[in-house]
Amino acid sequence: MVDSMSAKTAIGTNDEPPSGVLAELRRLVGQRTELERREAVLVRRARNEGFVWEQIAMSLDVSRQAVHKKHAAGLLRKR
Mean pLDDT of 51-65: 96
Is the whole model's pTM more than 0.95, yes or no? no
Q: List Cβ<8 Å contacts ≥24 apart for 35-44.
A: 40/71, 40/74, 43/67, 43/71, 43/75, 44/71, 44/74, 44/75, 44/78
Mean pLDDT of 42-60: 96
Give domain limits for the chain.
16-78
CA 18 – CA 23 distance, rounded (Å):
5
Residue 30: its pLDDT value, please? 95
